[in-house]
């Protein structure tokens, strides 16, 4: 069986096991309110994780998207609160900031050829520095945060009558869209090709630069969408908003089957990974287990996934080399017979 | 120069220099339409340089290339690709996580507004597969395919770009005999369809089975172009070696030493690399493992040293088995001079002293603290011992010349109390003067009673240092030369599988 | 293969939606039935007999003040055998507290005692909890939306009192530096405002520099060391909490300039009181955190058993703990059992 399928079964199995375990042990887990709340909690990280999945498939990463989400949220808050701008102008400005952020990452990685990890780690600091610069300040000059009351921003935190939050709808819509993009478009195939075997992809006329730029711009766009729903939920941006979310998103992608070496994984896997992380977090709150416990569990699952990847690769190598020996023996016999 | 309209490619007077050394000197080369043309030559004869000039990887320093009768400049792989020259490399260049169809259509996907026309692409690729009757499906993911199937995908990919010349570099290196047969059938089909094939292989039997014509290169120069029917394998080997070699290096008297046995290898097997390998090395002997690249010699060396695991068999040191690990081997007095000294032999940023000290810290340190004075002395000893130039042990090894780098690698072991030294291709990329020095070191070591086990693809080198020769082919020892006089020709014939397999029986 | 997976996913989702249809009795929409008859309603539960769940969400569970508040709450609630008390760590993460509150709403907690990490970022979640009929009592730092009650240390007043003490001690003439809270922290802002308001009355006082010490001792130590090399004459340093004051004091001691300046913190934790006794620090504003926690717990029990509809509040009820200015003169009056 292919590695992808096996990984899909394992991650899905883990998610199902977790859901089952919590459903049986907590009266509050399988209630409509909890499910919708759980999906809501998953959605913002999930939206970021979709963007990160794109960059990981190209063989890279994006450590800056959490900070970019925070920057977008801060830009909107500042324009609304300090400049009293129209909400749509504020949102457009955040979109522009996000896309510029994506282009900046693309420039660092594709043009300046800085490794993804280092490039996006640096841009993370740039973005959080900008967030501090844009932060709202009180009369004494200290940074403060303000709750927004704009109805459009409030709308982003809303839900349908029966309880499903808009952010969840956006998350699933974005997931379906990007899964289609990855699997059924030219850009998607190029994304896998660049991540899996860059040399061969470039020889086939695929542009490394364009593909990398596309991935980072998409990651930036996801940060933008995430920031809207983040503001809808929290209705305030502080200087640390979003920072650290990228690690949850990366963990989700890895649990879902993405490989840091690139070329592997997809959005469906990442969605499963996000749900796994959030179900675990949710269940932990139900039993009031320590957060240390939750971190150890999450870490262990990621290690298990990575160990599986390594073992699978080793197994495949052994299998091919053994079949080569058998083939060689047959040939030797044939040569001997002649 | 008259152009033969039958020729698809003509290369005239191609020169290629690296620094001041000619890799190719005024080479003429031509491939006809719809022929299978083999390119032969020893390692370093200029085969791969010629191909790289033809595919635009290296710029040429002189000469002209004609394609389809028209003069062309090939400055990049893209240029070659656009002319219709496709290359199927040893290291496969497919995208493993994509499907066969996606790989074949990579970079030229059919799409409407960016959305792939998957069905139409799969249908087109399926038709292409059917045309050649390959055991493939368009929807298969490449990483699930065998090596042979992957090669077929590469061939289809080349054909889908309407390539008129396909270059195959050692395509059968990792194929089973059945898969190779299939490849040969495909090559036949391609020839019938008017596609030219440039075929490169160490395996003379394949070359003779497939080729229409054979071009032989030696030392960067053309030796001759011959139709297959007019020649026998022994002639080709003679052409590859050259006739003007002096008797001294062209042949060598061998003998079995009567010293005590230091290293004994019995039925050693590592699946996928080598199997049932047995031999022994005596004190003061230089046993050479000869054979073609990929015949399993390096792997035997690494396994004996404990760097790679073994699946079955035993290795005895002075009659006793030992724990299979590098640290045990070093403690017993083993040394390894690896094949690729740049990646395995030394740390380029560290000084000569530090590099030598790495294998000697057991003597230089107490409780983990290094005695700096002893370390310095060791560096100076090494400089004298190997005659390092410049005679300064503090220079980072990466800044030394190739020959001197190899001397440092040797120095790592010379300063120890050695019993067995394993040497892999010691003189690749080293100039002639330094080569001789390294041969002298090897002889000195042997004279001190060290058992030397050496891997070399350079037949002249084999004859220069060997006291006994084992030839390996396809992971097995196929012949031992242990007495009388052996010539380069003998070794090459056995290595390429063109000689009668007259493996000597166990020593009488 | 793919189809099986897709099918399973769909089934899981369908399953969850089905479940949602079945049990929609959670607390989601308390404020919708808004034909309010004033702010009174019938008590929801009997605090003496019903099983109750009360949560404590500090911003940083291991911190000394959070431990003290938690201990105060627990001590008070331990008299009620029908109350289950749980602590949920906010992990110094503004969004984490919000997530926890949303989950506690689902779990139908009866009251939440919260020490917000940032006032604004918990506002929506606090609003949702109140709407679901769960009274939220904040400790020390207010949430930006109206809720049941706030039990605060004095911050503006404490800042003001410290400003006056420091200015008076140098006769209204001198150079001060301030080591501030993490940017955005409400308590820091209020302390700062009170301090600035007091200093404004003394035109002879100059504020040389203000830098953040991020609430922690090491950072404050580094900032103070920097100040000491930059400025030859410093007459006083005000830190927004005691931990930073301790760090600053160590820096001043290392530089051998202890006698030159007064060093003030705020909160009154045990270590700061020791420093005052040893003469390393000049003073702090002490709050009895045990009492503060216990007060919050009593308020929670009052709202649970009372007939006030707190979701109708447009303003938060406030209790402020008395500001006790502590210097070497009166430090002995803070007895061992009051220290935290």
Chain A positions touching C100 (Cβ under 8 A) are 285
pTM of the model as a whole: 0.78
pLDDT in tens, B220-272: 889 889 898 888 887 888 788 775 544 445 677 787 788 899 999 999 998 87
Let me know whether A22 and A36 are in one domain. Answer: yes
Q: Please, which residues have CB within 8 angstroms of residue B188's CB and are 6 or more apart in sequence? A: none
pLDDT of residue C2: 52
Chain B positions touching A269 (Cβ under 8 A) are none
Are A245 and A69 contacting, i.e. CB atoms less than 8 angstroms apart?
Answer: yes
pLDDT of residue A59: 93
Least confident of A82-91, A140-149, B202-211, C3-12: C3-12
Dihedral in degrees, nearest 10, Cα atoms A114, A118, A119, A123: -160
Per DSSP bridges, beta strands B420-424 and B451-455 are: parallel
Q: Which residue has the higher pLDDT, C99 or C8?
A: C99
B and A touch with 3+ CB pairs <8 Å, answer: yes
pLDDT of residue B322: 87
Binary contact (A331, B111; C-beta < 8 A):
no
Residues B341-356 have a mean pLDDT of: 82
pLDDT in tens, C128-181: 999 999 999 999 888 989 999 999 888 899 999 999 999 999 999 999 999 999
Residues A184-196 have a mean pLDDT of: 92
A160 pLDDT higher than 90 = yes
Least confident of A197-211, B235-249, C190-204: B235-249
State chain A's mean pLDDT as an integer.
88
pLDDT in tens, A105-126: 999 999 999 999 999 999 999 9
| Listed residue (C223, C212, C150, C162) closest to C191, CA to CA | C162
B508 pLDDT higher than 70 = no
Let me know whether A218 and A296 are in one domain. Answer: no
Chain A residue with CA closest to C126: the answer is: A234
CA distance A36 to chain B (A): 33
Say if C46 is an interface residue toward chain A (CB within 8 Å): no
Let me know whether A272 and A300 are in one domain. Answer: no
Are A42 and A283 contacting, i.e. CB atoms less than 8 angstroms apart?
Answer: no
- Across the interface, of C93, C100, C145, the residue whose CB is closest to A285 is C100
Let me know whether A231 and A309 are in one domain. Answer: no
> Using CA atoms, how far apart are residues B281 and B268, in angstroms rounded to an integer?
15
| Listed residue (C129, C145, C75) closest to C303, CA to CA | C129
B287 pLDDT higher than 80 = yes
Q: Which residue has the higher pLDDT, B501 or B411?
A: B411
Let me know whether A253 and A323 are in one domain. Answer: no
Q: Is the peptide bond before C116 cis (omega within 30 degrees of 0)?
A: no
Let me know whether A172 and A233 are in one domain. Answer: yes
> Using CA atoms, how far apart are residues C67 and C267, in angstroms rounded to an integer?
13
Percent of chain B residues topping a pLDDT of 90: 22
pLDDT of residue A137: 85
Let me know whether A243 and A172 are in one domain. Answer: yes
pLDDT in tens, B56-99: 888 889 899 999 888 999 988 788 888 889 888 655 678 888 99
pLDDT of residue A5: 82
C and A touch with 3+ CB pairs <8 Å, answer: yes
C250 pLDDT higher than 60 = yes
**pLDDT band at residue B378 using 50, 70 and 90 as cut-offs:** confident
pLDDT in tens, A172-184: 999 999 999 999 9
pLDDT in tens, C84-121: 999 999 988 888 999 999 999 999 999 999 999 888 88
pLDDT in tens, B183-197: 898 899 889 988 999
Residues C202-217 have a mean pLDDT of: 91
Are C279 and C328 contacting, i.e. CB atoms less than 8 angstroms apart?
Answer: yes
C33 pLDDT higher than 50 = no
pLDDT of residue A1: 54
Residues B349-367 have a mean pLDDT of: 82
pLDDT in tens, C263-289: 999 989 999 999 999 999 999 999 899
C and B touch with 3+ CB pairs <8 Å, answer: no
Kindly list the structural domains of chain C, giving each domain's residue range(s) and its CATH number in brackets, ordered by start: 41-153+290-322 (3.40.50.2300), 156-286 (3.40.50.2300)
**pLDDT band at residue C29 using 50, 70 and 90 as cut-offs:** very low
- Chains with 3+ CB–CB pairs under 8 A to B are A
| Listed residue (A236, A293, A228, A233) closest to A37, CA to CA | A233
Q: Please, which residues have CB within 8 angstroms of residue B478's CB and are 6 or more apart in sequence? A: B471, B472, B494, B497, B501, B503
Percent of chain B residues topping a pLDDT of 70: 94
Let me know whether A126 and A266 are in one domain. Answer: yes
Least confident of B175-184, B206-215, B415-424: B175-184
Domain boundaries, position A302: 290-338
Say if A177 is an interface residue toward chain B (CB within 8 Å): no
Q: Concatenated DSSP letters for B68-103?
A: TTEEE---SHHHHHHHTEEEE-SS--S-TTSBHHHH
DSSP B235: H
Let me know whether A263 and A304 are in one domain. Answer: no
pLDDT of residue B358: 82
Say if A335 is an interface residue toward chain B (CB within 8 Å): yes
Domain of A242: which CATH number? 1.10.3470
Q: Which residue has the higher pLDDT, A321 or B279?
A: B279
CA distance B496 to chain A (A): 13
Domain count, chain A: 2
- Across the interface, of A200, A205, A318, the residue whose CB is closest to B95 is A200
B407 φ, ψ (degrees, to nearest 5)? -65, -40
For residue C237, count other CB atoms closer than 10 A to its CB: 30
Let me know whether A78 and A220 are in one domain. Answer: yes
Kindly list the structural domains of chain B, giving each domain's residue range(s) and its CATH number in brackets, ordered by start: 7-241 (3.40.50.300), 245-278+460-508 (no CATH), 333-418 (no CATH)
Chain A residue with CA closest to B111: the answer is: A186
Q: Which residues of B touch A (CB under 8 A)?
A: 77-78, 81, 93-98, 102, 106-109, 111, 114-116, 118, 141, 143-144, 146-147, 174-180, 271-273, 275, 474-476, 497, 501
B44 pLDDT higher than 80 = no
Let me know whether A207 and A320 are in one domain. Answer: no
Are A56 and A115 contacting, i.e. CB atoms less than 8 angstroms apart?
Answer: no
State chain B's mean pLDDT as an integer.
84
pLDDT of residue A336: 45
Percent of chain A residues topping a pLDDT of 90: 63
Let me know whether A317 and A199 are in one domain. Answer: no
Least confident of B47-51, B188-192, C24-28: C24-28
In a mutational test of the C interface, the residue from A16, A43, A169, A234 whose CB has the highest number of chain C CBs within 10 Å is A234
Are B460 and B167 contacting, i.e. CB atoms less than 8 angstroms apart?
Answer: no
């Amino acid at each position: 069986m292919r590695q992808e399928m096996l990984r899909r079964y394992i991650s899905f199995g883990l998610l199902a096991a977790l859901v089952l375990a919590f459903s049986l042990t907590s009266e509050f887990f399988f209630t409509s309110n909890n499910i919708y709340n759980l999906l809501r909690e998953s959605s913002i990280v999930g939206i970021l994780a979709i963007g990160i999945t794109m960059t990981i498939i190209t063989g890279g990463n994006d450590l800056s998207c959490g900070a970019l989400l925070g920057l977008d949220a801060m830009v909107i808050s500042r324009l609304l609160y300090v400049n009293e701008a129209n909400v749509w102008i504020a949102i457009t400005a955040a979109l522009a900031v996000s896309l510029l952020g994506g282009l900046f990452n693309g420039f660092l990685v594709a043009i300046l050829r800085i490794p993804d990890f280092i490039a996006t780690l640096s841009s993370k600091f740039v973005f959080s520095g900008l967030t501090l610069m844009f932060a709202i300040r009180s009369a004494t000059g200290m940074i403060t945060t303000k709750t927004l009351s704009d109805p459009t921003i409030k709308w982003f935190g809303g839900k349908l009558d029966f309880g499903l939050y808009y952010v969840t709808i956006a998350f699933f819509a974005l997931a379906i869209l990007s899964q289609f993009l990855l699997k059924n478009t030219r850009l998607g195939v190029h994304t896998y090709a660049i991540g899996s075997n860059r040399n061969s992809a470039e020889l086939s006329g695929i542009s490394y630069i364009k593909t990398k730029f596309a991935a980072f711009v998409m990651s930036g766009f996801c940060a933008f969408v995430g920031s809207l729903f983040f503001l809808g939920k929290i209705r305030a941006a502080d200087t640390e908003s979003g920072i650290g979310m990228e690690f949850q998103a990366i963990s989700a992608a890895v649990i879902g089957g993405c490989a840091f070496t690139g070329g592997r994984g997809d959005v469906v896997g990442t969605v499963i990974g996000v749900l796994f992380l959030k179900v675990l977090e949710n269940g932990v709150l139900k039993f009031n287990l320590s957060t240390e416990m939750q971190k150890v569990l999450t870490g262990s699952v990621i290690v298990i996934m990575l160990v599986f990847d390594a073992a699978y690769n080793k197994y495949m190598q052994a299998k091919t080399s053994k079949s080569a020996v058998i083939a060689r023996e047959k040939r030797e016999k044939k040569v001997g017979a002649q | 120069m008259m152009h033969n309209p039958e020729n698809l490619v003509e290369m005239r007077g191609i020169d290629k220099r690296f620094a001041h050394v000619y890799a190719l000197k005024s080479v003429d080369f031509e491939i006809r339409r719809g022929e299978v043309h083999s390119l032969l030559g020893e390692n370093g004869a200029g085969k791969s340089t010629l191909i790289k000039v033809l595919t635009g990887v290296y710029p040429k320093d002189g000469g002209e290339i004609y394609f389809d009768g028209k003069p062309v400049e090939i400055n990049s792989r893209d240029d070659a690709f656009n002319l219709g020259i496709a290359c199927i490399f040893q290291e496969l260049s497919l995208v493993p996580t994509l499907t066969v169809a996606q790989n074949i259509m990579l970079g030229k996907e059919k799409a409407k507004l960016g959305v792939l026309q998957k069905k139409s692409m799969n249908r087109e690729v399926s038709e292409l597969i059917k045309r050649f009757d390959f055991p493939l499906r368009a929807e298969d993911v490449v990483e699930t395919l065998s090596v042979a199937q992957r090669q077929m995908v590469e061939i289809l990919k080349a054909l889908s770009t309407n390539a008129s010349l396909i270059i195959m570099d050692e395509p059968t290196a990792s194929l089973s005999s059945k898969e190779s047969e299939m490849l040969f059938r495909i090559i036949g089909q391609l020839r019938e369809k008017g596609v030219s094939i440039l075929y490169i292989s160490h395996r003379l039997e394949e070359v003779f089975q497939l080729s229409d014509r054979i071009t032989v290169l030696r030392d960067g120069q053309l030796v001759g172009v011959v139709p297959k029917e007019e020649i026998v394998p022994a002639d080709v080997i003679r052409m590859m070696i050259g006739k003007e070699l002096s008797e001294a290096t062209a042949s060598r008297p061998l003998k079995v030493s009567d010293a005590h046995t230091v290293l004994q290898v019995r039925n050693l097997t590592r699946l996928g690399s080598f199997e049932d390998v047995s031999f022994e090395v005596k004190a003061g002997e230089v046993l050479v493992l000869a054979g073609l690249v990929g015949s399993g010699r390096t792997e035997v060396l690494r396994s004996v040293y404990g760097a790679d695991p073994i699946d079955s068999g035993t290795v005895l040191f002075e009659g006793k088995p030992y724990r299979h690990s590098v640290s045990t081997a070093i403690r017993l007095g083993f040394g390894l001079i690896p094949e690729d000294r740049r990646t395995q032999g030394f740390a380029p940023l560290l000084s000569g002293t530090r590099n030598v000290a790495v294998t000697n810290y057991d003597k230089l340190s107490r409780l983990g603290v290094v005695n700096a004075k002893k370390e310095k002395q060791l560096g100076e000893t090494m400089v004298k011992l190997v005659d390092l130039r410049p005679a300064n042990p503090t220079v980072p090894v990466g800044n030394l010349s190739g020959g001197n780098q190899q001397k440092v690698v040797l120095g790592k072991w010379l300063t120890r109390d050695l019993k067995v030294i394993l040497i892999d291709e010691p003189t690749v990329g080293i100039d002639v003067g330094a080569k001789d020095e390294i041969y002298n070191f090897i002889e000195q070591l042997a004279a001190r009673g060290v058992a030397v086990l050496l891997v070399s693809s350079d037949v002249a080198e084999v004859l220069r240092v060997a006291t006994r020769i084992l030839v390996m082919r396809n992971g097995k020892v196929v012949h031992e030369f242990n007495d009388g006089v052996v010539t380069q020709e003998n070794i090459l014939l056995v290595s390429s599988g063109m000689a009668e397999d007259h493996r000597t029986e166990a020593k009488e | 293969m793919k189809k099986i997976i897709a099918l399973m996913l769909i089934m899981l989702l369908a399953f969850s939606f089905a479940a949602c249809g079945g049990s929609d009795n959670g607390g989601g929409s308390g404020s919708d039935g808004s034909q309010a008859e004033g702010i009174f309603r019938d008590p929801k539960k009997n605090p003496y007999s019903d099983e109750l769940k009360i949560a404590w969400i500090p911003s940083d569970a291991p911190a000394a003040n959070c431990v003290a508040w938690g201990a105060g709450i627990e001590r008070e609630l331990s008299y009620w055998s029908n109350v289950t008390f749980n602590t949920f760590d906010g992990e110094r993460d503004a969004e984490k507290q919000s997530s926890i509150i949303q989950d506690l709403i689902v779990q139908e907690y009866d009251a939440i005692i919260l020490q917000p990490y940032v006032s604004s970022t918990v506002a929506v979640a606090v609003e949702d909890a109140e709407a679901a009929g769960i009274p939220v009592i904040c400790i020390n730092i207010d949430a930006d939306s109206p809720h049941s009650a706030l039990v605060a240390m004095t911050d503006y007043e404490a800042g003001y009192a410290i400003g006056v003490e420091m200015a008076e001690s140098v006769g209204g003439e001198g150079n001060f530096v301030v080591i501030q809270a993490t940017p955005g922290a409400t308590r820091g802002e209020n302390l700062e405002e009170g301090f600035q308001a007091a200093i404004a009355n003394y035109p002879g006082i100059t504020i040389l520099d203000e830098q953040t010490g991020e609430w922690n001792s090491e950072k404050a130590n580094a900032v103070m060391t920097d100040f000491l090399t930059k400025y030859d004459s410093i007459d006083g340093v005000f830190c927004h909490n005691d931990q930073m004051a301790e760090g600053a004091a160590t820096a001043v001691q290392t530089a051998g300039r202890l006698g030159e300046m007064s060093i003030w913190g705020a909160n009154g934790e045990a270590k700061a009181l020791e420093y005052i006794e040893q003469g390393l620090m000049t003073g702090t504003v002490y709050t009895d955190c045990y009492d503060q926690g216990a007060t919050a717990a009593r308020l929670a029990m009052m709202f649970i058993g009372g007939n006030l509809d707190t979701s109708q509040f447009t303003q938060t009820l406030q209790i402020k703990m008395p500001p006790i200015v502590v210097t070497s003169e009166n430090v002995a009056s803070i007895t061992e059992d009051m220290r935290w």
